[in-house]
A and B are shown apart, each in its own frame.
Chain A
Amino acid sequence: MSDYRALGGVPFMPKPARPAPANTTGVVGWMRQNLFSSPSNALLTLVGAYIAYVTIMAILNWAVFNAVFEAESRRECLDLVGRAGACWPGVVAWSRQIMYGLYPADQIWRINMGFLTLILWVVPLWLPRVQSKVAIGLTAVLVYPFLASYWFLGGQAGFVWSVLIAASIACFVWVWATALLESFTGATFGRFVLTLLGVQHRSEQDQRRVLRAVAAAMLLVAYVAVSFWTLPFVPTTRWGGFFLTLVISGIGIAFSLPSGILLALGRRCDMPVIRIACVLFIELFRSVPLITILFMFNTMLPLFLPVGVEVNQLLRAIVAVCLFAAAYMAEVIRGGLQAIPRGQYEAASAMGLGFWQTTVLIIMPQALKIMIPTIVGNFIGLFKDTTLVSIIGLFDVLNMARAVGEDTRWLGLFIEPFFAVTVLYFICCFAMSQYSINLERKLDTGPGGRR
């Protein structure tokens, strides 16, 4: 198109671009436009700033400047500053219970190890050169829970369960071996093992046999390790605090996304039986409050089970939360599916892609991307909703915070622990929300997106 000059005619010279006027850019320009654009606007800005200043100072005075940091009991706090300042020693004295519940003090390192393992498991997802991210992400959701049960629950597991735990450990080793190999050499774990054993030139069948043997060996080693180092059993009745909140909401979040996807697909399915079943499930669980579902599972489920069959109370709560979250997530995903233009399905069909290929490769990545804000919003909601389990008698972080004020030494100390829990919740939810914004920006492939 640049050869139009050859056509003759009056030459067209585009004007050079000028920078924007100075008073519309920079900090001063921004303030002038947004804060002081008119007298009434300036007045509102000043009033707003004053209210913000007074509020923040009041909180800071109470929580920091007038607060007591060392005392033996609430009486001592009250004698020192009265109600003008916070009494933090009570929260500090109870911090272990707020975080870990009634978990035995000498075993708490296991909880920390458990979460550390989870963090290590997902760290490779952020390493730029790792290729097998889908596999790593899937194992974190599907395989990690067995390892978590080894850390958190402990005790003598049955044979099948031990094998699953061993598989989980072997999987963890695989995740990090893969992450390191792909980061530094670019080779996959399988290729590396084959080269190490010097069989990379054998037939494909031989190679597969060798890889299977290596996997079996890893499993065996892990199994032996698991059977040797058995951790003492900690019943779930002693689980509590922020740890319990993380367990319930973590499982709920991990379960809700895949099951929500399946339910949403089922609801749009052509087969009437599947569609009706999905619609019934979704509508039933969406139209009942979570608290009711928790009560139903807690008190009514045992009535329907045969005598002698006891389902763990924590498990009942987790199942209730999972089903509830799945129903909500299904509707979110369905919203995302409806935003995908018909042309995408048609283009995929015209190229010969089947239903599952179209769903996995074309539709879901786009639908999930559109719905990231809503999905994360649901996660945050679920995370906060787990406080409801305190009503059926589980000692989650909120219930533990309330327990502080019922301790004879700290009698009536309610505001400080709740304030601490508020900060804890805020940090977690704000982090999730920021991460979702970050993710949206990273996945933006629109006209102004990444190039």
Chain B
Amino acid sequence: MSEITELEEAAREAVASTRSTTRIIEISKLNKWFGQFHVLKDIDLTVYQGERIVVCGPSGSGKSTLIRCINHLEEHQEGDVIVDGTPLNNNVKNIDAIRSEVGMVFQQFNLFPHLTVLENCTLAPIYVKKMPKAEAEALAMSLLERVRIPEQAKKYPLQLSGGQQQRVAIARALCMKPKIMLFDEPTSALDPEMIKEVLDAMVELAKEGMTMLVVTHEMGFARRVADRVIFMDQGEIVEQAPPEVFFGAPKFDRTKLFLSQILAH
């Protein structure tokens, strides 16, 4: 245990040198079960404002479930999750407050196929934030420009390529002006040639100082962008470290095995 704390300390220092020390997400003793299956075991995690965290691990390790607990898409049974000072409990008001500050991008994009790209982006600002339509559209266009697809605004999602759809999903999440962005394997459903355009959009977002939690197998992205890499297995955080330490000198044999398999091919 002490080694992990040491590493976390190191990570924290590395972060603290460049970023703020405001704790934006605090997770302590988080436990979750699917029926009898213990998915998350005593997870402790603190995320600082502006930090970029990559979560990796084999499938079934609980990494997606962990980030889905942060905006209450999954309900946890034990432990505390505090997002930007608001504790996540069964209080619907708190859940709504947290959700409007946390944006999420899914593996399967989950765009609304019956709405145009622009309508996908303006829906939540108009109906959740009560923003006037013209203002929401201007905001959406500026964000679509940022992910480089303003010319697709009038099209429907299924008429776009996978990479374009995922960039729309990023723009749609950003339209709520979130403080935190969660990415749940954003490139796993994409053709190899489209992964880069999505990663580019994410890198740009990271440069602007967005707090990001990214579940991904893109180790190149982790190396380039992450402040901290977290490795999970069987519902536990096995190891966390800044990328150079994580990839250069992983402590645990489980991490070494994972890295050898994922980097070998």
Chain A interface residues toward B at CB < 8 A = 1, 341, 343-344, 346-347, 349-354, 357, 361-362, 365-366, 369, 443, 445-447, 449-451
Chosen A-B contacts, 8 in total, with CB atoms closer than 8 Å, are A341-B110, A347-B111, A352-B100, A352-B128, A353-B128, A365-B114, A366-B112, A451-B156
Interchain pairs with CB closer than 8 A, number:
74
Interface check B21, CB cutoff 8 A: no
Interface check B234, CB cutoff 8 A: no
CB distance from B156 to the nearest CB of A (A): 4
- Collect the chain A residues with CB atoms within 8 Å of residue B71's CB: 349-350
Knowing A350-B71, A351-B123, the reply to whether A445 touches B128 (Cβ < 8 A) is no
Tell whether, in the assembled complex, residue A352 and residue B176 are in contact, meaning their CB atoms are under 8 Å apart: yes
The listed residue with most A CB atoms (<10 A of its CB), out of B110, B111, B123, is B110
- Collect the chain B residues with CB atoms within 8 Å of residue A443's CB: 114
- Collect the chain B residues with CB atoms within 8 Å of residue A1's CB: 193
- Collect the chain A residues with CB atoms within 8 Å of residue B102's CB: 350
Interface check B99, CB cutoff 8 A: yes
Partner of B108, one of A343, A349, A350, A357: A343
CB distance from B129 to the nearest CB of A (A): 8
**Bound complex: CA of A366 vs CA of B128, how far in Å?**
20
**Bound complex: CA of A326 vs CA of B127, how far in Å?**
30
Tell whether, in the assembled complex, residue A351 and residue B124 are in contact, meaning their CB atoms are under 8 Å apart: yes
Tell whether, in the assembled complex, residue B99 and residue A343 are in contact, meaning their CB atoms are under 8 Å apart: no
- Collect the chain A residues with CB atoms within 8 Å of residue B104's CB: 347, 350
Partner of B110, one of A344, A352, A365, A449: A344
Tell whether, in the assembled complex, residue B124 and residue A352 are in contact, meaning their CB atoms are under 8 Å apart: yes
When each residue 99-127 of chain B gets 1 if its CB lies under 8 Å from chain A and 0 otherwise, what string results?
11011101010111110000000011001
**Bound complex: CA of A36 vs CA of B155, how far in Å?**
42
Knowing A350-B71, A351-B123, A353-B128, the reply to whether A344 touches B112 (Cβ < 8 A) is yes
Tell whether, in the assembled complex, residue B123 and residue A361 are in contact, meaning their CB atoms are under 8 Å apart: yes
CB distance from A371 to the nearest CB of B (A): 13
Tell whether, in the assembled complex, residue A343 and residue B110 are in contact, meaning their CB atoms are under 8 Å apart: yes
CB distance from A66 to the nearest CB of B (A): 54
Partner of A349, one of B99, B173, B176: B99
Partner of B176, one of A351, A361, A365, A446: A351
Who on chain A is nearest to B182 by CB? A350
The listed residue with most B CB atoms (<10 A of its CB), out of A357, A445, A450, is A445
Partner of A361, one of B110, B127, B155, B159: B127
B67-103 residues at the A interface, CB under 8 angstroms: 71, 73, 96, 99-100, 102-103
**Bound complex: CA of A258 vs CA of B123, how far in Å?**
24
B172-194 residues at the A interface, CB under 8 angstroms: 172-173, 176, 193
**Bound complex: CA of A365 vs CA of B99, how far in Å?**
24
Known: A349-B73, A443-B114. 12 other contacts (CB 8 A): A1-B193, A341-B108, A344-B112, A346-B110, A347-B111, A350-B104, A351-B124, A352-B124, A354-B96, A357-B127, A445-B158, A446-B113
CB distance from B213 to the nearest CB of A (A): 13
CB distance from B147 to the nearest CB of A (A): 16
Tell whether, in the assembled complex, residue B114 and residue A352 are in contact, meaning their CB atoms are under 8 Å apart: no
CB distance from A132 to the nearest CB of B (A): 15
Tell whether, in the assembled complex, residue B112 and residue A352 are in contact, meaning their CB atoms are under 8 Å apart: no
CB distance from B110 to the nearest CB of A (A): 4
Who on chain B is nearest to A364 by CB? B114
**Bound complex: CA of A117 vs CA of B236, how far in Å?**
68
Who on chain B is nearest to A447 by CB? B158
**Bound complex: CA of A234 vs CA of B103, how far in Å?**
62
- Collect the chain A residues with CB atoms within 8 Å of residue B123's CB: 351, 353, 361
